[in-house]
Structure 1
Amino acid sequence: MPPHIGQDKDALLAVLAQAGLTDITQIQPLADGLSNHNYHIETPTAHYVLRENADAADSFCSREQELFYWRHLAKAKLAPELLWVSGDQRYYLSQFIFAQSLPSLPIASPFAPLMEDIEGRANLLTEKRIAARGIDTLEQLKVQREPTMASGYQELSQQNLSLQNLNWNELSWKDLESQCSAATFCLGETLIEAWLQSHADIKLAADQQAWYQSERLVLLEALTPNRAHSLLLQLLQRLREQATGPYHISITEQWQEYHGQLLAFAAVDMGEAWQSRLAQLLSIQTQILDWTATLADCLVAPQFCHRDLNPHNLLLKDNQLYCIDFEYATASHPLCELAVVLATHQLTPAQRYLLVRQYLAEHPGLTSDAIKAIPAAIEMYWVFAVYWALLMAAHTRGERQQEYFDWFDHFWPLISHTS
């Protein structure tokens, strides 16, 4: 739930006065983060965001590190400008970005059966023609492919499913919030690969295979419900170009740090609800070791990582995504960034397929077979989520503690090999 201003209004006005803002016309709670509170501040001439940091979150991040990366990303025009920080680093005042909407078809759009139906028949006809005539050159393949596709899109027109007639929605970026497990990701990969497999028997030279693969990716691109994957790719590519700075932590080190904190709390009486969830975490330590080892094996070099690029931490403006909340920003494993996006955004299997391959293409920080480690990266994202929930519960009491237990229970089924 968003924070209530009520009796806190005078305290907030006092904080804003310290920041140099006195002519306040409105204080409006924004959608609350899982840890911190945010407020939209309006004056006669400008708009701002005031963030109040939760005390419990201090155990997860260095405020100096957070502010270092925030300022760096703001300078790179990838984050709102940070305008003021209170002396105790409890309050941040920043630029307010008026986010725009994302034009989008419903995820379960007519394109889903269309891809299976029209393209399935088109591919079958193509294969029959290839089998009957043989393919000698790339141009022959292209000439035979185009009429088949044309007939498919003619059917699209006849079914009155043209782009002009489809019902487009305007989505705020946070409306893309969803949860994707490693198992769901792998299932989507299997479905897309099966769809592409219709071309697997075509024998072409290496350069012709490259063209054909490119053609299929273009087709997938055309059948996506929105540009979310393209905008995310642009952001990911720009973020990985940023300087790593003086801070670094590996996935293994992050797990060890969280695990050590949990064991320290376990030494005191935290109550049955907390201890039972700790026991659940302890039951998957073997899997965690396997996942961290898999990720270590595909790493060439760390890069800058925001590490929390969920839809609530992204703002769309002028066809570009901006980041907010840098509590977990550091240099780390390149698959950290990709895993968060895959795990938390409502993308179709086709969008995930495109995003993964374009992100990994010639990535300097990863081995050539890093795609095999993506399920492990998604697993570790949800592992860190349940660690976070249990650690936050250890720092709180009462109703707020129960909220973190609820988050643990929500995230837990997203991890493989759990009961």
Structure 2
Amino acid sequence: MLAKLMASCPGLGQAIAGLGYDRHAPLCLLSSGLSNDNYVLGQGAAPRRQHCHGVNDSHSEQCDGALSRLALRVNRDVAALGVGRVNEVWAWRQAASAGLAPALVWVSQDYHCYLSQYVPNEPPESTNTADSDSVLGRSGAMIVDLLGARPPSEPSNSAVSRLGNLLCQLATLPVPELTISTLEQWQRYDSALKAGMGDAPEGVQQGIYRILERRTQILDWITTVTDAQQGRLQFCHRDLNPANLLWSAQKCLAIDFEYTCGAGPLNELATVLATHNWSAPDTHWLCHEYLSKLGYATLPYKAIVAAVNIYWVFSCCWALLQAAVHQEPQYMTWFSQSELMLS
């Protein structure tokens, strides 16, 4: 498997050798997602060299300490209306330099493959997150019922505190040069859906039609969120679902920065609320902890709900665009589950 990947990714073999690994090092699949596959390289075998030095590539970085294992990510060619690989790598490095993401060790010239520090994922037993193999989480209507009571002074689940710390620290990173407002993101999806409708399979066309029928409602949600954010702009990962978090006893790290850009705080919070099934008190604590540290005197409840609804709209749009191009069933499954959250 490693030999096949090296053949498809120029420079990977040299990078692995430069980092002290045998080209025949064991390779084990960690996860297979809709936009990338992830492997652990060198499981059970220590590298010959102790530091990340000697890789003859302009994208390589040095990192402290021994790397007994590496994570290898192979990107799919998915037209996801993301932020582009250059912006993604920049954002990843910003987060890694602040200790909020694994160290990015090497990036291929064509951005097809990345090597990074392997961090074992040790999620707490009571993370209570949505199943990472399913899109199903919480709709905006469900969030309404979670934010009625006074937030507790501390979360009952320590994992929520770690996630809250990650959210707050990510918000302090330099704002990416690429900024995308909620309205701009919708306009991109709206244009792409219209452009792809004519050649799409019938089922995809019907899905696109149903989303575009909601245009007035979607614009109302966007206006509500935009008004509440009052021009706030920050570093936003925009995809902090359970599959993009790594847990340890001390902290929570982020991975996969494919959608990171400068955006408003409610865009960041919406993904977490939509995809994590914390208890009502802990959800309320997380909202209050995050937004109060960003200067909100009170929680903008209506805007939070609208932001979650927009998250599911964008999830639908993304899935439809993939289904139109790739015509693979998992994308329409993703769309159908996301659409349920808008019912």
- TM-score (norm: length of structure 2): 0.84
Task: Report how many aligned residue pairs link the two structures.
Answer: 313
Task: Quote how far apart the aligned CAs of 1:361 are.
Answer: 1.3
Unaligned runs of 5+ in 1: 108-170, 197-215
Unaligned runs of 5+ in 2: 48-67
What is the CA–CA distance in structure 2 between the aligned matches of 1:61 and 1:305, rounded to whole Å?
A: 12
Q: 1:38 to 1:72 in 2, by over 3 A?
A: same
1:307-355 C-alpha deviation (Å, 9 max, x unpaired):
0000110101241111100000011011111111111112011111111
Alignment of 1:309-388 (within 5 A): 309-364=240-295, 368=298, 370-388=300-318
The alignment status of 1:19 with 2:41, answered yes or no, reads no
What is the CA–CA distance in structure 2 between the aligned matches of 1:59 and 1:334, rounded to whole Å?
A: 20
What is the CA–CA distance in structure 2 between the aligned matches of 1:62 and 1:179, rounded to whole Å?
A: 27
What is the CA–CA distance in structure 2 between the aligned matches of 1:235 and 1:261, rounded to whole Å?
A: 33
Equivalent position to 1:67, from 66, 82, 89:
89
Task: Quote how far apart the aligned CAs of 1:10 are.
Answer: 2.4
1:44 alignment partner in structure 2 = 46
Q: 1:176 to 1:77 in 2, by over 3 A?
A: farther
Q: Secondary structure at the match of 1:189?
A: coil
Equivalent position to 1:185, from 143, 149, 157:
143
1:414 alignment partner in structure 2 = 341
Equivalent position to 1:217, from 130, 134, 152:
152
More helix by share: 1
What is the CA–CA distance in structure 2 between the aligned matches of 1:82 and 1:363, rounded to whole Å?
A: 28
Q: Is the 8 A contact 2:319 2:331 kept in 1?
A: yes
Identity of aligned residues (%): 37
Q: Is the 8 A contact 2:80 2:321 kept in 1?
A: no
Q: Is the 8 A contact 2:238 2:271 kept in 1?
A: yes
CA RMSD of aligned residues (A): 2.4
2:204 alignment partner in structure 1 = 274
Q: Is the 8 A contact 1:305 1:333 kept in 2?
A: yes
1:269-294 C-alpha deviation (Å, 9 max, x unpaired):
21211111111111211110000000
Letter in 2 for 1:184: M
Q: Is the 8 A contact 2:130 2:276 kept in 1?
A: no
Equivalent position to 2:227, from 288, 297, 306:
297
Q: 1:180 to 1:293 in 2, by over 3 A?
A: same
Q: 1:310 to 1:252 in 2, by over 3 A?
A: same
Q: 1:305 to 1:28 in 2, by over 3 A?
A: same
- TM-score (norm: length of structure 1): 0.70
Alignment of 1:58-97 (within 5 A): 59-97=81-119
Q: Is the 8 A contact 1:189 1:349 kept in 2?
A: yes
What is the CA–CA distance in structure 2 between the aligned matches of 1:56 and 1:244, rounded to whole Å?
A: 25
1:57-93 C-alpha deviation (Å, 9 max, x unpaired):
4643311110111111111111111111111111111
2:56 alignment partner in structure 1 = none
What is the CA–CA distance in structure 2 between the aligned matches of 1:344 and 1:381, rounded to whole Å?
A: 10
What is the CA–CA distance in structure 1 between the aligned matches of 2:146 and 2:332, rounded to whole Å?
A: 30
What is the CA–CA distance in structure 1 between the aligned matches of 2:109 and 2:200, rounded to whole Å?
A: 33
What is the CA–CA distance in structure 1 between the aligned matches of 2:222 and 2:320, rounded to whole Å?
A: 20
1:111-160 C-alpha deviation (Å, 9 max, x unpaired):
xxxxxxxxxxxxxxxxxxxxxxxxxxxxxxxxxxxxxxxxxxxxxxxxxx
1:29 alignment partner in structure 2 = 29
